[in-house]
Amino acid sequence: LQPIYRKDYTLSEYLIHTTELEFDLTETQTIVTSKISFYKNPKSNKKTNILFLDGIDLELISILVDKAKPDYKLVEQGLEINNLADEFILEIKNCIHPEKNTSLYGLYQSNGNFCTQCEAHGFRQITYYLDRPDVLSVFTTHIKADKQKYLVLLSNGNLIKQINGSTTWHDPTPKPCYLFALVVGNFALKEDTYITLSGNEVTLKIYVQAHNINKTQFAMAALKRSFAWEEKRFGLEYDLDIYMIVAVDDFNMGAMENKGLNIFNTTYVLASIDTVTDKDFIDIEAVIGHEYFHNWTGNRVTCRDWFQLSLKEGLTVFRDQEFTSDLHTRSIKRIEDVNTLRTLQFAEDMSSMQHLVRPEHYIEMNNFYTLTVYEKGAEIIRMVHTFLGEVGFQKGMQLYFQRFDGDAVTIDDFIQSMSDANNFDFDQFMYWYSQSGTPEVSIVSDYNHNDKTFKVFIRQHSQCDYFFPLRFALLDDTGTKLESGILTVKDKEQIFIFNNMDVEPTPSWLRGFSAPIKLKSDLTFKQKIFLVRHDSDAFNQWDNAQQLWLSLILIPSSINQDLFFDAIEKVLKNTFLDGSCVSLVQDKSLICEILTLPSEQFLHQQQEIIDVFEVHDKREKVINKIIERFKLLFSKIYSKLNIYQPYELTPEAVGNRALKNICLYYLAISGEFELAFEQFKSANCMNDKMASLKALIVSDNSYKNIALDGFYHEFKNDTQVMDKYFSIQSSASTANVESIKVLMQHKLFSFNTPNRLRSVIGSFSQNYVNFHNQQGYELLTNIIIKLNQSNPQIGAKLTSVYNHWQRFTPKLKALQKQQLEKILAIENLSNNIFEIIQAALK
């Protein structure tokens, strides 16, 4: 298998003016007819008259070029046509079988409804085409289907014709085929309108299965908030008369930004107080925003080639993070995002799938929709924002749209716009795109009492010298800022000197996590404790607490537990029991974050050799110490916060619930199951119900099964809640391979629905102590082998569980290697899984 290399990019020899498609959908086959007007690319100086079109698993019925039979041949993965003129019309008819397509890629069915997923290369499974993002065309789509069976027939753009059983859609904005979408089926519709800043009325439509229609209100409101935020913060308006969202149960990822016709995993649309948690609400809003924001960053300005994926994804993730930060609590959002980055992306950077934010090669592009491209990509954009400030960043965005609206461009084009608009040199900054791995930086400071200077020595330990902003503050002993700002780090070694420091300051480094690095500082234990209590940067309050928890778990002798716990007690008491807190709103969520121990997954990264059992035991020990010390306080806080309040999604209410529920969690571990069961019965929202269920399943107790059964009977008809039901059991400390096999026999388990696979198998693979053994691996491997045929994209995702095998203890390492070899040996291994395994075994 030959990888595709970024360096091999060449222009397309032919481009496309217009694409006219006709879909004739039946239960046994779909006939696709295309009429495409091609022209020679004026930018290409090659003299070729041959056109290669991508096409996979297509049955060709007929082909005409300018109404005549062309000189063509079917080749592997496509079609080659020879002796072409500089301009011509190609007409093709082919047959496909969405009813048999389990890969959820191309045209497929979900609950009997037809829908598409074309990014990155799904369109070639629909018809022969130039399936590359730099070929943009105006699309017209005719859809025909049995009008008794299918009432809704949708595609991108505006509806220009509708006569019984058929529709015609015209999308005036040229787009690459990965943004094409088609949906046919039966749906209920939620409709609303949005008036843009310049007064255009946009019709907003959300299509869901009929029984879910009462769960669309939140998504609609979130969509309107996304439109409004995009106008306010970025000055960008929507450009069509209609914006549609369709929710389907069977989807490989979260959602897809097809022009004017987003297709969503139901998980990111359907919401009601009774069925989703606080976090789910905020995540749903973020994904709705993310797909909407792609309309400018991704659709109007798209990627030249797939190596540039982070151009649209990194930037759009940054934008959706800002959206959530502006609408909710900025510091909490930052803590959550950095936690994800450090737990998952940093781990990816240490794994066999380590790659650049702008990868150099791929075998299967779908393997590169990764945390590195998305989350690290977003961190890079955040650094650009930090350097330029909001005004400078927006100037750069305007220049980017002015230059490239309607184009397919590169990451360099984006950075150049930022640079030109601000006269800022980003040359050295480009290492962020050309070096993989997480930069390691150390920082040492020295206070001189005599000359009142505070000297800071910064050292980079990477091969290259990264250019990044280091946000900081120097605090006096009341937490007041003596100095603050941004240090520009660019050399291997740099010294910064602060004069006139009358007292020795406590430095607060890397505030808000201003760069995606691993920073080692010389902060003392006492300074960290001080920062947990007094840093005005909430992120650093949390981060210092995390560092202290980490030390307490992994090297307990390295810190004074009593002093640390005294500080935690003060944080808890000051804020809640004597009423002296200044900013209650933020603090409850923040305290919950501070009380949350680093996850096992995060702890694994700190180990040279991953010992899942040791990490688990050490973490459990600290949980028990916390309970021993704080049980009474948790009880008091829980009773104080556990008062009936109508559900609201305000920061205050979210904070109340978060803190109450972490107290409940610790209390349940200490044996207070009755309390958890009471909450389970009386909860007025899914957030509190789930929290109590999680508390009840921490160990075997008399309430656990009653609660689980009750939960099942209450929600068995709700697919989304059933995912929670499965995942909570797969993550439980009592789960084992046998209990997972039982779950897989459940009538609601399905191999063909990724959400269900994620909730059972995905969750179990992160249940480290119970999953990491020979039986656990064999179970996973058999599932991967099955998915290799039916859904290789999800198969590859699950195979990635083994990406860290080399870092495990010898026995588990050997067992995982065996699994990789076993999968490699199967017949017809998909490119998706092959690429993951090849990298792992290299």
366 binds, among Zn ion, ligand HT7, none (CB under 5 to 8 A by kind): ligand HT7
Size, binding site for Zn ion by CB under 5 A = 2
Q: Least CB distance from residue 557 to ligand HT7, whole Å?
A: 45
Q: Least CB distance from residue 294 to ligand HT7, whole Å?
A: 6
- The residues that bridge with 204 in the sheet, in sequence order, are 192, 243
Angle between helices 686-696 and 673-682 (to 10 degrees): 150
256 binds, among ligand HT7, Zn ion, none (CB under 5 to 8 A by kind): ligand HT7
For residue 76, which phi and psi values (nearest 5 degrees)? -60, 130
Is residue 244 within 8 A of residue 262, CB to CB? The reply is yes
Nearest to 356 by CA among 364, 745, 348: 348
Q: Least CB distance from residue 132 to ligand HT7, whole Å?
A: 15
- The per-residue b/e assignment along 15-45, b for 16 or more CB within 10 angstroms, e otherwise, is bbeebbbbbbbeeeebbbbbebbbebbeeee
- Beta-carbon contacts of residue 825 (< 8 Å; ≥ 6 apart): none
CB atoms within 10 A of CB 520: 13
Nearest to 58 by CA among 88, 36, 34: 34
Strands of 166-175's sheet, edge to edge?
59-65, 87-96, 30-40, 14-25, 137-145, 166-175, 158-163
Is residue 755 within 8 A of residue 267, CB to CB? The reply is yes
- The answer to whether 291 is a known catalytic residue is yes
Whole-angstrom distance, CA of residue 54 vs CA of residue 123: 9
CB atoms within 10 A of CB 459: 15
Secondary structure (DSSP) of 348-377: HHTSTT---SS-SEES-GGGG-SHIIIIIH
712 binds, among ligand HT7, Zn ion, none (CB under 5 to 8 A by kind): none
- Three-state SS sequence of 419-474: HHHHCCCCCHHHHHHHCCCCCEEEEEEEEECCCCEEEEEEEECCCCCCCEEEEEEE
| C-beta of 245 vs 253, nearer to ligand HT7 | 253
| C-beta of 179 vs 641, nearer to ligand HT7 | 179
**Helices in 235-362 by DSSP H: which ranges?**
278-293, 309-327, 330-340, 346-349
Q: Least CB distance from residue 77 to ligand HT7, whole Å?
A: 18
| C-beta of 9 vs 369, nearer to ligand HT7 | 369
Distances in whole angstroms, Cα of residue 70 to Cα of each of 14, 50, 155, 374, 554: 16, 11, 30, 43, 70
| C-beta of 682 vs 789, nearer to ligand HT7 | 789
- The per-residue b/e assignment along 812-831, b for 16 or more CB within 10 angstroms, e otherwise, is bbebbbebbebbeeeeebbb
Q: Least CB distance from residue 432 to ligand HT7, whole Å?
A: 20
| C-beta of 141 vs 258, nearer to Zn ion | 258
For residue 26, which phi and psi values (nearest 5 degrees)? -130, 180
Residues that bind ligand HT7 (CB under 6 A): 117, 119-120, 252-253, 255-257, 290-291, 294, 313, 366, 369, 793
First-residue to last-residue Cα distance in the chain: 15
Q: Least CB distance from residue 140 to Zn ion, whole Å?
A: 26
| C-beta of 252 vs 329, nearer to ligand HT7 | 252
529, two tokens: 């404790």
Cis ω before 120 (30° cut-off from 0)? yes
Q: Least CB distance from residue 313 to Zn ion, whole Å?
A: 5
For residue 797, which phi and psi values (nearest 5 degrees)? -60, -45
Q: Least CB distance from residue 137 to Zn ion, whole Å?
A: 22
583, two tokens: 């900013």
Whole-angstrom distance, CA of residue 97 vs CA of residue 108: 8
656 binds, among Zn ion, ligand HT7, none (CB under 5 to 8 A by kind): none
Span interacting with Zn ion, options 12-20, 187-195, 305-313, 623-631, rule CB under 5 A: 305-313
Q: Least CB distance from residue 298 to ligand HT7, whole Å?
A: 7
> Choosing from 257, 285, 291, 672, which is the catalytic residue?
291
| C-beta of 168 vs 266, nearer to Zn ion | 266
Q: Least CB distance from residue 121 to ligand HT7, whole Å?
A: 9
Q: Least CB distance from residue 257 to Zn ion, whole Å?
A: 6
| C-beta of 255 vs 353, nearer to Zn ion | 255
- The residues that bridge with 440 in the sheet, in sequence order, are 518
**Helices in 670-790 by DSSP H: which ranges?**
673-682, 686-696, 704-715, 719-731, 737-745, 754-757, 763-765, 768-771, 774-790
Sequence letter at residue 118: C
Whole-angstrom distance, CA of residue 348 vs CA of residue 601: 12
252 binds, among ligand HT7, Zn ion, none (CB under 5 to 8 A by kind): ligand HT7
Residue with nearest beta carbon to ligand HT7: 253
Is residue 453 within 8 A of residue 498, CB to CB? The reply is yes
155 binds, among ligand HT7, Zn ion, none (CB under 5 to 8 A by kind): none
| C-beta of 262 vs 316, nearer to Zn ion | 316
| C-beta of 369 vs 525, nearer to Zn ion | 369
| C-beta of 248 vs 474, nearer to ligand HT7 | 248
| C-beta of 174 vs 298, nearer to ligand HT7 | 298
Q: Least CB distance from residue 286 to Zn ion, whole Å?
A: 11
Convert residues 309-348 into a mask of x (bound to Zn ion by CB under 5 A) and - (unbound): ----x--x--------------------------------
Whole-angstrom distance, CA of residue 257 vs CA of residue 118: 10
- Residues known to be catalytic: 291
Q: Which residues bind Zn ion (CB under 5 A)?
A: 313, 316
